[in-house]
Structure 1
Amino acid sequence: MSSIIVDTNSIHKLFQETGVGATIWELIKNRAIQVPGGGTKYKDEVVRSPLREVFQELLRSGIIKLYSDEDIDTLEAQYKLNPDLKSDDQHVIAIAYRSGCRVLFSADKALSDDFKNHKILPKPRGKVLCNKYYAKIVQGAPPCKE
């Protein structure tokens, strides 16, 4: 099963009728991809989201793979010290590092730049989905690490 990180600023795009978000949502509903998560900040953002019920259902069904808060929070703290980081989304980078997921769905330019920066995330280099054409990247992405 492939994996993708969905930034909270783009969750609403999953429920649009067309576009890359709609394509990703179809893959999620069909259990073709897994969504890694974890950490205190991630959970806080999800709890504040109007889609928290959807999150709970995806978690119960195993589509969302949560990593330990301790692991993600520790990595996040380390990334906060990284001078190469431009975004304030160290928790997303920490999830990518821990899970091995290198596909991101986000509208955040600074996060997208960080995600693709080899000084921040080791190989393979991250890919950021920005339109429907790139959605095929998800289907070839590796699964989450255990």
Structure 2
Amino acid sequence: MTIIIDANCAHRVKSSDADGAILLKFIISGKLPCVTGGKHKEELAKTALGGLLQQLQLAGVLMDVEVDPLEDSCNAKLRSDDPHIVALALSSGCRLLFTHDQLLIDDFTDVDIVPRPRGKIFKYAAHVKLLEEACR
């Protein structure tokens, strides 16, 4: 499995934040690659994680995916302002997201927007079981 890192949490991956540190450990180990593409990649490049993107890609732990835009009918259902993240999940098949954006969480876990398998959210280091399960 893979994970998407929302730009609003990217700073936590590079800081001494426990949640981001444990996630980075899983990514760097190669157990849980990160997925990006399209507008998400542009957003991530502008964050604290931006300087690390090329290194992660060269290490083979960052997958750059071609993202298909959302259909208008799906876009109309969104509560968040992150259609590019939903589109990335649908294009890549990724169903694990690191975010604290509640509206995006609502969209990502809504089976009418992101169909089965259901989207899961990693928010805190206490959710490490989600990361471990994703590595199986």
TM-score (norm 1): 0.83
State how many pairs are aligned.
136
Map 1:51-62 to 2 at 5 A: 51-62=49-60
Q: What does residue 44 of structure 2 align with?
A: 46
Q: What does residue 112 of structure 2 align with?
A: 119
Distance 1:83 1:32, change over 3 A: same
5+ long unaligned stretches in structure 1: none
- Are 1:65 and 2:63 matched, yes or no? yes
- Are 1:75 and 2:52 matched, yes or no? no
Root mean square deviation, CA, Å:
2.0
| Deviation per residue, 1:53-94 (Å, 9 max, x gap) | 2011111111111112xxx1x324x25753221011111111
Paired residues of 2:74 and 2:113 also in contact (CA < 8 A): no
Distance 2:6 2:77 in 1: 20
Percent same amino acid at aligned positions? 32
- Are 1:135 and 2:128 matched, yes or no? yes
5+ long unaligned stretches in structure 2: none
SS of the residue corresponding to residue 69 of structure 2 reads helix
SS of the residue corresponding to residue 75 of structure 2 reads coil
Paired residues of 1:36 and 1:67 also in contact (CA < 8 A): yes
Map 1:14-29 to 2 at 5 A: 14-29=13-28
Distance 1:107 1:50 in 2: 17
Distance 1:62 1:79 in 2: 33
**Range moving further from structure 2, 8-17 or 108-117:** 8-17
Paired residues of 1:34 and 1:63 also in contact (CA < 8 A): yes
TM-score (norm 2): 0.88
Letter in 1 for 2:42: D
Q: What does residue 3 of structure 1 align with?
A: 2
Q: What does residue 89 of structure 2 align with?
A: 96
